[in-house]
């Protein structure tokens, strides 16, 4: 295994897409809330290290299962990254996350590290239980607190922001699991989506995202505005389309439920960032 191949494999083992997406989301939220450039960089670095640690931990924990299933898309199973290297990277990223999080403020750091600990708990066993959604709800729900608790006076974000974050996390859990439910069941992973089954999960996955959008439209102070109503109309339409497609059967639905749920998640994230200025003024 060459140096370049090994580096590429380790990078892919961190789950780069969600890692980048969550990092960009929280950094943008910090900027929208009025945090300084230095604070935004520090917050972004802490979130990036936390997400890297979670992604690498996930692949190490699942290495034996992925190898047995012949998962060529997984670097450890495909042999393009060494388990020891990825485990060391996870530990280093976690240590960096602790330092950077606490540098953003003791209470802010505690909020972020609680979310990261929840994500590690998911990897280490909770994802096999009916409570698999709890770490996602907790980790995403605390992200606005990481942004605000570092401000003078250590203000907590408004309840609507934390509720929307938690709902967004539950929706992200279902969206992330949807494509792999059958493989997970075969491997003995029985989180809440797997227990519900593919069809019911497809129907339920859009609901927390629709609820998150509703909270983000109706929760912040001031008039809703055209953008808010338009976003709520879009998410409602996508939820209805997903339910209708699923009711006709999995073959007819195809990838529509997954893609529609993903689009709803993007819309909800956009709304959260749009209302970032209200995190400390409400």
pLDDT at 91 over 60: yes
220: three-class secondary structure by DSSP: coil
pLDDT tens sequence across 179-227: 778 878 887 889 999 999 888 888 888 889 889 889 988 888 888 888 8
CA-nearest of 90, 57, 63 to 75 is 63
Distance between CA 257 and CA 236 in Å, rounded? Answer: 13
What pLDDT is stored for residue 240 in this prediction? 81
Distance between CA 186 and CA 199 in Å, rounded? Answer: 17
Please, which pLDDT band fits residue 282 given cuts at 50, 70 and 90? very low
Distance between CA 15 and CA 188 in Å, rounded? Answer: 22
**DSSP codes joined into one string, 226-271:** HHHHHHHHHHHHHHHHHHHHHHT-HHHHTTHHHHHHHHHHHHHHHH
**DSSP codes joined into one string, 69-129:** TT-TTSHHHHTSS-HHHHHHHHHHHHHHHHHHHHHT-HHHHHHHHHHHHHHHHHHTTGGGS
CA-nearest of 134, 140, 136, 133 to 164 is 140
Rounded to an integer, the average pLDDT of 111-136 is 97
Verdict on whether the full-model pTM lies above 0.85 = yes
Within the chain, how many helices (H) and strands (E) appear?
A: 17, 0
What pLDDT is stored for residue 1 in this prediction? 39
CA-nearest of 204, 172, 145, 174 to 269 is 172
Question: Which is higher by pLDDT, 152 or 41?
Answer: 41
Residue 19 dihedral angles phi and psi, to the nearest 5°: -60, -50
What pLDDT is stored for residue 245 in this prediction? 65
How many Cβ atoms from other residues are within 10 Å of residue 257's Cβ? Answer: 26
pLDDT tens sequence across 236-246: 888 887 777 66
Distance between CA 110 and CA 29 in Å, rounded? Answer: 18
What pLDDT is stored for residue 2 in this prediction? 40
């Amino acid at each position: 295994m060459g140096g370049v191949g090994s580096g590429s494999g380790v990078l892919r083992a961190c789950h780069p897409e969600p890692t980048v997406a969550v990092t960009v989301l929280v950094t943008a939220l910090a900027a929208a809330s009025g945090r300084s450039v230095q604070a935004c960089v520090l917050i972004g670095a802490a979130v990036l290290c936390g997400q890297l640690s979670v992604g690498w931990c996930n692949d190490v924990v699942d290495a034996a299962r992925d190898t047995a299933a012949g998962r060529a898309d997984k670097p450890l199973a495909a042999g393009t990254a060494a388990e020891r290297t990825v485990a060391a990277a996870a530990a280093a990223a976690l240590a960096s996350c602790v330092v950077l999080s606490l540098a953003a403020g003791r209470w802010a750091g505690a909020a972020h590290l609680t979310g990261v600990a929840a994500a590690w708990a998911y990897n280490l066993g909770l994802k096999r239980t009916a409570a698999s959604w709890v770490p996602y709800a907790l980790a995403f729900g605390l992200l606005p607190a990481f942004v605000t608790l570092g401000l003078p006076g250590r203000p907590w974000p408004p309840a609507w922001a934390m509720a929307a974050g938690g709902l967004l996390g539950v929706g992200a859990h279902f969206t992330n699991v949807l494509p792999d439910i059958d493989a997970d069941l075969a491997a003995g992973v029985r989180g809440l989506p797997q227990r519900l089954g593919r069809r019911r999960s497809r129907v339920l996955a859009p609901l927390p995202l629709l609820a998150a959008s509703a909270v983000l439209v109706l929760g912040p102070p001031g008039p809703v505005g055209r953008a808010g109503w338009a976003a709520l109309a879009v998410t409602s339409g996508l939820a209805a389309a997903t339910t209708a497609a699923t009711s006709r059967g999995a073959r007819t639905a195809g990838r529509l439920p997954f893609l529609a749920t993903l689009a709803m998640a993007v819309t909800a994230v956009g709304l959260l960032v749009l209302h970032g200025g209200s995190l400390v003024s409400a």
